[in-house]
Structure 1
Amino acid sequence: MNADTLIKTAQAMVEPGKGVLAADESTGTIKKRFDSINVESVEETRRAYRDMLFTTPGMEDFVSSVILFEETLYQKSSDGTPFSKLLADKGVIPGIKVDKGAKPLAGAEGETVTEGLDGLRERLIEYRKAGARFAKWRAVITIGDGIPTDYCIQANAHALARYAALCQEQDIVPIVEPEVLMDADNSIEVCEDVTSRTLQAVFAELDQQGVLLEGMLLKPNMVISGKQCPTQADVQTVAEATVRTLKRYVPSAVPGIVFLSGGQSDELATAHLDAMNKIGDLPWALSFSYGRALQAPALAAWGGKNENVAAGQRAFFHRAKCNSAAAKGEYTSAMEQAA
């Protein structure tokens, strides 16, 4: 493990005003996105869509790095340049999603554990050869009747730490993603409790397994009301609860926290991030690692048509610019009118 390499890469990924584009949708997930615009999901349409995003002029001013799906890591731009090289040449760091998805956890009805540790060391060696400099692993924590259990939280925390240690062994920065889902009817107080339990377990495991905190990033959920909750917490309440929870359980040695959007609307995810950064006095950088919240307007504008590539790129550029401002606490709703 080269600690200096890991630290420099992690810091570059959370350079002020920059965040991470999550373009690592699995084949099944991207099909759902394409179904929404009546575009067939085949390798060429997936390649063309990612090509549109990655070749957006000026994206590198707001996006430090991109998480790729395994298929995408080995694809090429329309001019024949491998995506990993195209991004690196723009100063954007390429990364790779390495988990194999959440599967039912034995003996824990309604709960899951993420798989993919078998053979991961060998895969990481190949991914690094292909240009990947960081990786991502997502654990899923569900809120429901009597769940999450400590068993589920601990099983996922252990897997996250094992993944992170394997990444650092290959000089690949791990993004550690424990996602507490926001799909239920729970209050923001319940989300704060579950997020606290989860982060406490994750960092205990990271410490136990010798993970270099300075050479990793955290990708958590925001502390937010469940989507089905009749009373939704406002932006400032979400910001304060999230920052409070992170300060309690995330060591200051971690260089950056890049939030997932978790199905929030584009503008709400941006507003939440901005409100957190406006609080100030933070020991780590707070930025974004959004998928849908960065891509939804671009996907709709593109619609699978070559003649709409420029429109799709304008939509993507706008959302990236707004989130860049939010990562500095400089976002205003008036910026949306400039779209």
Structure 2
Amino acid sequence: MNKQQMDRIHTGKGFIAALDQSGGSTPKALEQYGIKGDRFSNEDEMFGLVHEMRTRIITSPAFDSAYILGAILFENTMDRKIGERYTADYLWENKGIVPFLKVDQGLAPLDNGVQLLKPIPDLNGLLKRANDRHIFGTKMRSVIKEANPGGIRSVVEQQFEIGRQILSMGLVPIIEPEVDIHSADKSKSEQLLKNELFEQLSALDKDAKVMLKLSIPTEDDFYRDLIDEPHVLRVVALSGGYEQREANERLARNHGLIASFSRALSEGLTAQQSEEAFNGMLSRSIRSIYEASLT
């Protein structure tokens, strides 16, 4: 494991950029970027277009390590190059930004108020490739829609079971049990979730380090004690469907919590923009998310 990257993620100022839209969410991401479905006829063309979008973001002068600590990639993006370098190498060697990889294969159907992770075929093989591609850590997303104690327990147990497998391969897992921001009992779900997270963290080996990616809590500073937990390298927040302005306002009220935004990061960016307009919009977004992550 790269100690320089570990130190940067643990103590650096900035946020994590989420550039990990996968097969299911890519068409919507492209549509928001101004590329309609009639521009591609198969997955290869679709992933080529989204890689062009991500390359434009990553190579922009606005995408700067002064504001961004790390970036989460999709598997297809990890296997592609920016210029002569694989994407993760370009991020670290050219930009000083730590590369992460989304490893989940999407969500299982709703059961007990939650959506678990689908099975991840040959996860060890994927983790070996991630090491070969110089990836620092991984990310996997489950969703909590109701304050169901058994469902929430199953989400956290599954996340940490897979997290231990990731740790055994020398990578840092980002545990992401998202609480749906539209949930009618969101605050109750957050309390149940926090209790389960503490139970699983207490069972980790002494030197094990994980990251947590959580919805911005209903109660400000609700996750402060998780941020201070010795096994937790960093707690980052997803935007969860909030528009950028609201996500930033909510985030800024939570001390020690930093952003890991996707939709809120790329908000307003389109393929049709000039380079000047694109870079200007991206710069304003990055700086506003950075400022909200400093509190």
TM-score class, shorter: 0.7 to 0.9
TM-score when normalising by structure 1: 0.77
Cα displacement string for residues 116-174 of structure 1 (whole angstroms, at most 9, x for unaligned residues): 3442222111111012111001111013xxxx322211111111101211121122111
Q: Distance in 2 between matches of 1:249 and 1:130?
A: 31
State the Cα distance separating 1:209 from its structure 2 match. Answer: 4.8
Give the 3 Å change call, closer, same or farther, for CA 242–121 of structure 1 in structure 2. farther
Moved over 4 A (4+): 248-251
Does residue 1:179 correspond to 2:178, yes or no? yes
In structure 2, the residue matched to 1:296 is: 267
- Report deviation, 1:26: 1.1
Structure 1 residues 177 and 211, CA, compared in 2 at 3 Å: closer, same or farther? farther
More divergent stretch after superposition (118-127 vs 154-163): 118-127
TM-score, reference length from structure 2: 0.87
The separation in 1 between residues aligned to 2:138 and 2:60, in whole angstroms, is 23
Partner of 1:157: 156
Please tell me whether residue 63 in structure 1 is matched to residue 63 in structure 2: no
Higher alpha-carbon deviation: 49-58 or 204-213 = 204-213
Distance in 1, Cα, partners of 2:27 & 2:117: 21
- Paired position in structure 2 for 1:334: none
CA shift, 1:43, in A, is 2.3
Structure index of larger Rg: 1
Matched, 1:104 2:109: yes
Cα RMSD, aligned residues only: 2.2
Q: 1:172 to 1:211 in 2, by over 3 A?
A: farther
| Paired residues of 2:112 and 2:151 also in contact (CA < 8 A) | no
Which residue among 270, 275, 283 is the counterpart of 2:248?
270
Distance 1:203 1:135 in 2: 20
Q: 1:1-339 residue pairs with structure 2 within 5 A?
A: 5=1, 9-36=5-32, 37-39=34-36, 40=39, 42-58=46-62, 59-77=64-82, 79-89=83-93, 90-104=95-109, 108=111, 111-143=114-146, 148-184=147-183, 186=184, 190-210=185-205, 212=207, 215-224=209-218, 241-243=219-221, 245-247=222-224, 251-253=228-230, 254-277=232-255, 285-298=256-269, 302=270, 304-305=271-272, 308-329=274-295
Is contact 1:273–1:327 with CA below 8 Å preserved after alignment? yes
SS for the counterpart of 2:267 is helix
Secondary structure, in 3 states, of the residue corresponding to 2:85? coil
| Residue 8 to residue 199, structure 1, CA distance change in 2 (3 Å) | farther
The CA distance in 2 between the partners of 1:111 and 1:292, in whole Å, is 22
Question: Distance in 2 between the 1:110 and 1:168 partners?
Answer: 28
- Write out per-residue CA displacement over residues 40-64 of structure 1, whole angstroms, 9 at most, x where no aligned residue: 3512211110001111114221111
Residues 196 and 23 of structure 1: is their aligned pair in 2 closer, same or farther, counting only changes over 3 Å?
same
Report the secondary structure of 1:264's partner residue.
coil
**Aligned CA distance change for structure 1 residues 317 and 14 (closer, same or farther; 3 Å):** farther
More helix per residue: 1 or 2? Answer: 1
The answer to whether the 8 Å contact 1:162/1:209 transfers is: no
> Given the superposition, is the C-alpha separation of residues 117 and 151 from structure 1 closer, same or farther in structure 2, using an over 3 Å criterion?
farther
- Give SS of 1:114's match: coil
Unaligned segments of structure 1, at least 5 residues: 225-240, 278-284, 330-339
Measured in 2, the distance between the counterparts of 1:211 and 1:161 equals 15
**Shift, 1:263, TM fit:** 0.6
Paired amino acid for 2:242: Q
- 1:231 aligns with none
Amino acid at match of 1:66: A
Identity among equivalent pairs (%): 20
